[in-house]
Structure 1
């Protein structure tokens, strides 16, 4: 599993989980602002995970471990404008963070990917493309649970 890359990142992996063959993450994408990911892991069966859930740049988890379609991560897990990891940590597509260039870190995604009402890091604009989507049962954008998220504005 990839470790942190980038100047001041301090993330690490804990308790890697699994994705089942159906292509959606179970109990994955739980991100904590303390700078490490829990419950993210490699997918099995229908696809594979790329660069999910390790800390980058600002030291908290990015790329919240969701699968699209065939079960591999698309466009999540690296930052734009800050230093970011190369190799497993990036893939093309939509759903990577914009603005200051990192995904939601301290908001937690649980189980089937519904967002809890948790505070997110202030002082940045987050991409709304980074919400969880599960396999073939992908949530339409915008996810209605975004009403729980508070997005701080730039001055």
Structure 2
């Protein structure tokens, strides 16, 4: 995603629709200066505006992101690449899930076993338990975020 190329594409599409920057800005609920910054490649549109921007310019999101009009064949190829990317990403998430399970187990081992074996004083026990709970909690938090991301990816 090259902001400059996307900006030029937005400008071309806007002009092809015979819209001024002010008219496009009004449709999207942004300022004409914002449109100007997009078209010069200084900033990118907010993700929440992509759907409305594409509708206003009569382009698909893939065309906007690749900054070019696409043929049906191009769209099909891009769809296949996107599907492959999703499968690859899902596999990476599954690998991270295994890592989170390991973190949780290590945290439990530190909290329970090491506290009894290594800690001689109350302070050492407390420090060991806090470290174990931190690792355990981090593993759980990471696992929740991974599962949430996988659900969002699937929907």
Structure number with the higher strand fraction is: 1
Structure number with the higher helix fraction is: 2
Scaled to the shorter chain, the TM-score interval is under 0.3
Q: Which of structures 1 and 2 has the larger relative contact order (alpha carbons within 8 angstroms, sep 6+)? A: 1
Q: Which has the larger radius of gyration?
A: 2
